[in-house]
Amino acid sequence: MKRRPPVSRRTQPGLRCAAGRARILLVALAAATVSGCARRGAPSFAFFGAFFPDWMLLSGIGILAAIGTRVVLIATGLTEVMPLQLLVCVSVGLTIATFTWLLWFGT
């Protein structure tokens, strides 16, 4: 049986151009997203003289919601019956954090 030579980028000239264009597009997209907070500044809170970004507060709220969900699942006895408990707790925490963000910072 005859072996075929491995295909390299040099044998496919269109692949090199497509990869270069994709890389340029990716860099341009990343540069466009970095300047998102440049107009008004990053949303932050002043606690005890230091500035903390809002996502830190909202992630804390989400973690507390996930822990609260786990406590409720244990107290009601649903841990014996419910599969994928970690996924449920993380989903509830993420949902609460997202809704809090929408209610607090939604404009």
Q: Quote the pLDDT of residue 67.
A: 96
Question: Which residues make Cβ contacts (< 8 Å) with residue 51, sequence separation at least 6?
Answer: 44, 45
Q: Quote the pLDDT of residue 9.
A: 53
For residue 90, the tally of other CB atoms under 10 A from its CB is: 15
Distance CA 6, CA 24 (A): 27
pLDDT tens sequence across 24-52: 888 888 777 665 555 566 667 676 777 77
Q: What is the mean pLDDT of the chain?
A: 79
Q: Quote the pLDDT of residue 40.
A: 61
Residue 32: which region, alpha, beta or left (left: phi > 0; alpha: psi -120 to 50)? alpha
- Give the global pTM: 0.56
